[in-house]
């Protein structure tokens, strides 16, 4: 790989041990992917923050980088942690876990990483613009940043994202190169797209199809007449989970779609296919479910306002987690949404989510509107899952069929 003078100095250890280790990681990655050189990045998002995923080996790695003088050179935020940093007791987190999780967060803070723990950094101040080179790790956020914002990011791992933060560089390959951003296959949607879970189901259908096609990862979607931010974040999370994709184009909606002709190979997505995908994500009975969660990916303030409206004067009959970024929760506090939601018995779970928190074995069945949450609740936590539209998830929490 071609390195400039500053990158060579980093690699030679002239800017400290942590920077050297970070550059070694990036050069190794770049060599594997045949990158010609490095590209400067302006924003980083690091995944692998929950102690439940990191374990002792991950904490040791962070400690080594911090003691080696590592400091973030560009705006860097974190993915969700394994607990609400301020209110972990209310979520039933063990003190031993909380202590380890706090050590992880503190290590990042000492490296000048902003400890905003969220998978929707684009809702809380880490918002790259069109064409900006970034190094993000959370798969749903990478997909959103590439596709909806038009930024350029590969799907980084935890160590490579941290390395990008400490050097301000990432190897220039994959999504950073214009020629790799062309759509390869068209999906023609002939179905009603109204709710978040419709977009989640669409992500599953498209993602699974992509998985079955060798070397095809970038879909061009047509037939969707409109999609708001929340629907696009649902779709990003789902297509990234089920298809491993980092970029999609939706005709007349995402910014790069207009630059391309729709690929000739067209696959139709019917109403029936969506219904089938939804039914595949439901293997439990809502009446027997003992856990309800909204906020995968983390909720926007608009979604929290809706939950507050639906919970006004009601009482939940199941454990109900509202997962979001801390700054979004702070807006909810100011607007009085938090008071209404907590008066119902529902719990805010800021900084964390129902997938990365250590809750395996605590519940048997989850009600959610998220296709991604279904995938991990089933695979990681072995919960049964029930996929419902957003409002109906809230009704499930209060034990009502529909709003009564």
CA distance 228 to 95: 40
Six token digits for residue 119: 């998978």
The answer to whether residue 372 forms part of the interface with ligand F3S (CB under 6 A) is yes
353 binds ligand F3S (CB under 6 A): yes
Stretch touching ligand F3S by CB under 6 A, among 103-111, 172-180, 187-195, 348-356:
348-356
Q: How far is the CB of 279 from ligand F3S (least distance, A)?
A: 21
Rank residues 168 and 297 by Cβ distance to ligand F3S and give the closer one. Answer: 297
Question: Is the Cβ of residue 7 or residue 351 nearer to ligand F3S in the bound state?
Answer: 351
If one counts every other C-beta atom within 10 angstroms of the C-beta of residue 321, the result is: 24
Among 80, 82, 168, 183, binds ligand F3S (CB under 6 A): 80
Residues within window 216-255 making contact with ligand F3S, judged by CB under 6 A: 237
Burial state string for 358-377 with b = 16 or more CB within 10 A and e = fewer than 16: bbeeebebbbbbbbbbbbbb
Residue 152 is a binding residue for ligand F3S (CB under 6 A):
no
State yes or no: residue 119 binds ligand F3S (CB under 6 A). yes
Choose the stretch contacting ligand F3S; rule: CB under 6 A; options: 164-172, 201-209, 290-298, 306-314.
290-298
161 binds ligand F3S (CB under 6 A): no
- Exposed/middle/buried for 120, CB within 10 Å: 0-12, 13-18, 19+? buried
Q: How far is the CB of 247 from ligand F3S (least distance, A)?
A: 17
- The correct pick among 29, 206, 355, 397 for binding ligand F3S (CB under 6 A) is 355
164 binds ligand F3S (CB under 6 A): no
183 is a contact residue toward ligand F3S (CB under 6 A): no
Strands 38-40 vs 169-171: parallel, antiparallel or unpaired: antiparallel
**Through-space distance between the first and last CA atoms of the chain, rounded to whole angstroms:** 64
Binding site for ligand F3S (CB under 6 A): 79-80, 119, 140, 237, 295-298, 323, 353, 355-356, 372-373, 376
């Amino acid at each position: 790989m071609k390195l400039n003078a500053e990158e060579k100095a980093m690699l030679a250890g002239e800017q400290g041990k942590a920077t050297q280790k970070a550059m070694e990681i990036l050069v190794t990655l770049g060599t594997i992917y045949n990158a010609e050189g490095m590209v400067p990045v302006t924003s980083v998002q690091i995944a692998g923050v929950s102690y439940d995923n990191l374990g002792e080996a991950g904490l040791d790695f962070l400690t080594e980088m911090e003691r080696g003088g590592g400091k973030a050179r560009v705006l860097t935020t974190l993915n969700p942690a394994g607990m609400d940093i301020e209110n972990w007791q209310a979520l039933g987190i063990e003190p031993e876990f909380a202590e380890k999780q706090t050590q992880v967060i503190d290590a990042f803070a000492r490296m000048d990483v902003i400890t905003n723990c969220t998978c929707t950094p684009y809702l809380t101040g880490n918002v790259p613009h069109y064409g900006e080179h970034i190094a993000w790790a959370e798969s749903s956020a990478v997909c959103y940043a590439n596709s909806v914002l038009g930024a350029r990011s590969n799907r980084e791992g935890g160590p490579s994202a941290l390395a990008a933060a400490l050097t301000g560089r990432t190897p220039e390959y994959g999504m950073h190169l214009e020629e790799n951003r062309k759509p390869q296959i068209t999906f023609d949607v002939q179905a009603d797209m109204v709710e978040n879970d419709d977009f989640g189901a669409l992500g599953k259908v498209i993602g699974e199809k992509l998985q079955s096609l060798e070397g095809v990862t970038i879909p061009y979607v047509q037939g969707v007449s409109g999609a708001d931010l929340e629907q696009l974040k649902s779709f990003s999370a789902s297509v990234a989970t089920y298809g491993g994709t980092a970029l999609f184009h939706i005709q007349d909606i995402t910014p790069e779609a207009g630059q391309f002709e729709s690929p000739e190979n067209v696959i139709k997505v019917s109403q029936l296919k969506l219904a089938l995908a939804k039914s595949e994500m439901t293997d439990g009975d809502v009446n027997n479910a003992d856990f309800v969660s909204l906020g995968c990916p983390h909720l926007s303030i608009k979604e929290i306002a809706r939950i507050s409206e639906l919970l006004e004067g009601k009482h939940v009959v199941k454990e109900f987690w509202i997962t979001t970024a801390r700054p979004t929760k702070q807006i909810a506090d100011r607007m009085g949404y938090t008071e209404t939601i907590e008066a119902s018995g529902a719990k805010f779970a800021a900084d964390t989510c129902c997938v990365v928190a250590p809750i395996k074995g605590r519940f048997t069945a989850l009600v959610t509107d998220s296709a991604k949450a279904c995938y991990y609740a089933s695979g990681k936590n072995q919960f049964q899952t029930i996929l419902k539209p957003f409002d109906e998830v809230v009704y499930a929490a209060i034990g009502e069929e529909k709003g009564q």
